């Protein structure tokens, strides 16, 4: 067994030990009286359960394999029994290797698979009205992909442009594996095409930025109300008489970080406040998580790009029907299908590249967390 395998098994032993500790805590009547703690422990158990169950299966197969080999190597053993044991050795060896690979993949992607809700923010960049139309196209692409995956989409806030595009749109996507698939979308997106606003048929380049934030729950990040300044005002723009007459718009300002959130989508002040807090909580959580990851290990952070909005990650070239992801050098000549929501091949390429990078870097920190985040 090489050093990397030793590190992996030691990490799995630590996860199993922690899993058993969490199960004991959940069974403690005292913990049941603390809802926030119980929820946090239940989430931790749920995240680690697939790893622990697979690891226990792996250990059983390894033990059975050792028993079968002992019979094969025993000259006093019954010949028929030794023949059966030889067959078992082959079968168990194959199963052990299969479980080992599955364990590694589950381990390095566990954190990502556990996040089932994200907040996405799309903003038009350079390009004026065409950039706003491109932002709308990106929104349509993601919502169609979400529909194909049977995820739920909830629009939180948007600012329309004059021609039906979006200057900005914020929405929530919820479903199994949503962060593991959409978490790669953060960054700068560029489009090359003849705009609807172009009379002479010239190709223009426009841009939009995308941010993808894991939706943080109250148990993930505690924000004391004293750290937040709330401003209430009347909503502006279209929305009916009630929207403009009632003070329903909410602006939250997080004093320690300077992060602000404006929400006026709903006519209800209560609904706007709830949505604003969801976005604020996720933005603060992302900021603190990025700082934590950078401090922990800069080499393991963001294997295929930072997700920063200033980083150009992808180009959509309509004249050539081509999508190019610059982070992994992948070009696909099916832009029409991708923009229609068939993003599977593109996302699969990103996930596989990310997986390979994580495998390469796993040995750098054997006692670190089970997986890095995007």
> What local confidence, expressed as pLDDT, does residue 201 receive?
79
Residue 131 above 60 pLDDT?
yes
101 — pLDDT class (breaks 50, 70, 90): confident
What's the pLDDT tens digit per position in 173-224?
999 889 999 999 999 999 999 987 676 778 999 999 999 988 876 556 778 8
Strand partners, 155: 171
Residue 75 has pLDDT above 80, yes or no: yes
pLDDT band at 237 (very low <50, low <70, confident <90, very high): low
Q: Tokens for 125?
A: 């960049």
- Residue ending a domain, among 113, 141, 158, is 113
Task: Give long-range contacts, CB 8 A cutoff, 24+ apart: 334-342.
Answer: 338/141, 339/137, 339/140, 339/141, 340/141, 340/144, 341/140, 341/141, 341/142, 341/143, 341/144, 341/145, 341/147, 341/148, 342/145, 342/148
Location of structure tokens 């006093």? 76
Number of domains making up the chain: 3
Q: Give the residue among 284, 262, 293 at the shortest CA–CA distance from 214.
A: 284
The predicted model gives 68-77 an average pLDDT of 90
* pLDDT for the residue numbered 372: 36
Same domain, 276 and 320: no
- pLDDT of 2 strictly over 80: no
CB 17 within 8 A of CB 9: no
Give the SS3 label for residue 365. Answer: coil
Q: Is residue 374 part of a domain?
A: no
**Residue 77 and residue 150 share a domain:** no
> What phi, psi does 311 have (nearest 5°)?
-85, 120
Kindly state whether residues 68 and 123 are assigned to the same domain. no
Q: Report the chain's terminal Cα–Cα distance, integer Å.
A: 30
pLDDT for 109 equals 77
Judge contact between 286 and 259, C-beta under 8 A.
no
> Could you tell me how many residues make up the chain?
374
182 and 306 inside one domain: yes
Do 92 and 150 share a domain, yes or no? no
Helix (H) / strand (E) containing 229: strand 228-233
Instruction: Taking residues 86-101, report their average pLDDT.
Output: 92
Is residue 309 domain-shared with residue 179, that is, in the same domain? Answer: yes
Residue 55's closest CA among 106, 92, 109? 106
Residue 299, pLDDT > 70, answer no
Is residue 145 scored above 80 in pLDDT? yes
pLDDT in tens, 319-361: 999 999 999 999 999 999 999 999 999 999 999 998 888 877 7
Task: Region of 187 please: left (phi>0), alpha (psi -120 to 50) or beta.
Answer: left
Q: Are residues 124 and 11 in the same domain?
A: no
If asked whether residues 197 and 122 sit together in one domain, one would say: yes
Check pLDDT > 50 for residue 239: no
The pTM of this model reads 0.73
CATH code: domain of residue 272: 3.30.160.20
For residue 316, give both structure tokens.
């959509």
Question: Which of 260-264, 314-318, 370-374 has the least mean pLDDT?
Answer: 370-374
Query: Do residue 77 and residue 46 come from a single domain?
Result: yes
Band (pLDDT 50/70/90 cuts) for residue 308 is low
- Domain span including residue 279: 225-293
Provide the angle, in degrees to the nearest 10, between the axes of the packed helices 3-26 and 35-72.
130
Per the domain annotation, does 372 fall within a domain?
A: no
107 & 14 share domain: yes
Tokens of 328: 């992994």
pLDDT band at 150 (very low <50, low <70, confident <90, very high): very high
């Amino acid at each position: 067994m090489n050093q990397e395998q030793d590190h992996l098994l030691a990490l799995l032993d630590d996860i199993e030990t922690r899993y058993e500790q969490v199960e004991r805590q959940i069974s403690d009547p005292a913990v049941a009286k603390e809802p926030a703690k119980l929820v946090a422990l239940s989430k931790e158990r749920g995240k680690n359960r697939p790893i622990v169950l697979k690891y226990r299966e792996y250990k059983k197969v390894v033990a059975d394999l050792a028993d079968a080999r002992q019979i094969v190597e025993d000259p006093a053993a019954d010949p028929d029994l030794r023949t059966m044991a030889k067959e078992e050795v082959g079968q168990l060896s194959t199963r052990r290797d299969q479980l080992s690979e599955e364990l590694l993949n589950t381990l390095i992607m566990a954190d990502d698979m556990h996040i089932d809700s994200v907040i996405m923010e799309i903003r038009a960049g350079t390009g004026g009205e065409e950039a706003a139309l491109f932002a709308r196209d990106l929104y349509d692409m993601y919502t169609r992909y979400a529909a194909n995956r049977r995820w739920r989409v909830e629009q939180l806030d948007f600012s329309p442009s004059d021609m039906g595009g979006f200057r900005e749109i914020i929405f929530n996507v919820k479903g199994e594996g949503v962060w593991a698939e959409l978490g790669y979308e953060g960054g700068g997106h560029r489009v090359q095409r003849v705009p609807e606003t172009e009379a002479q048929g010239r190709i223009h380049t426009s841009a939009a930025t995308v941010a993808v934030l894991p939706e943080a729950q109250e148990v993930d990040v505690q924000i004391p109300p004293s750290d937040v300044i709330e401003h209430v005002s009347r909503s502006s723009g279209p929305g009916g008489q009630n929207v403009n007459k009632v003070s329903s718009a909410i602006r939250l300002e997080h004093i320690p970080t300077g992060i602000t959130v404006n929400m006026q989508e709903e006519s209800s002040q209560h609904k706007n406040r709830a949505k604003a807090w969801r976005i604020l909580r996720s933005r603060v959580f992302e900021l603190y998580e990025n700082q934590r990851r950078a401090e922990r290990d800069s080499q393991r952070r963001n294997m295929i790009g930072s997700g920063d909005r200033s980083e150009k990650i992808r180009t959509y070239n309509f004249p050539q029907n081509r999508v190019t992801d610059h982070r992994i050098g992948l070009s696909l000549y099916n832009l029409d299908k991708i923009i229609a929501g068939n993003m599977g091949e593109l996302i699969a390429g990103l996930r596989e590249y990310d997986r390979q990078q994580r495998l390469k870097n796993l040995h750098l920190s054997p006692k670190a967390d089970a997986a890095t985040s995007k």
